[in-house]
Amino acid sequence: EPEVTQTPSHQVTQMGQEVILRCVPISNHLYFYWYRQILGQKVEFLVSFYNNEISEKSEIFDDQFSVERPDGSNFTLKIRSTKLEDSAMYFCASRFTGSSDTIYFGEGSWLTVV
């Protein structure tokens, strides 16, 4: 079964450092998402990406966040200057088209900011 893959599975970083989380969405999918989940809390929407541009973003997705699809397979989330409160599990997700609603999630990248 096709799946969304994410790397790294866990990263520890110093406060103020830049972090890049990587995702390979399911190959024929066209919509890409990043969500985050702070420990013990609900999954929160960060950003959606379609046709090489951001289609929607939440209040959480401020100027320190950016997304990129550098090639035909990867989808990245960059956090420019990490803060302690950025510590969370970050999930990448993808969806085929607007007519197919199912969103598939990756296993997540656990980010710890110290």
CB of 14 to other proteins, least distance (A): 24
- Mapped onto helix, strand or coil, the DSSP state of residue 58 is coil
> Peptide bond preceding 25: is omega within 30 degrees of 0, i.e. cis?
no
Locate 23 and state its tokens.
């995702």
Chain CA centroid to CA 64, Å: 14
From 22, 69, 78, 104, residue interacting with other proteins (rule: CB under 8 A)? 104
User: Is 39 near other proteins (CB under 8 A)?
Assistant: no
Q: Return the residues of window 45-64 that contact other proteins according to CB under 8 A.
A: 45, 48, 55-56
Helices and strands of the chain, counted as H and E runs = 0, 11
Locate 110 and state its tokens.
């656990």
Q: Where does this chain touch other proteins (CB under 8 A) — which range of 13-21, 68-76, 80-88, 96-104?
A: 96-104
The residues of the shown chain that bind other proteins, judged by CB under 8 A, are 4, 31, 33, 35, 41-45, 48, 55-56, 91, 95, 98-99, 101-108
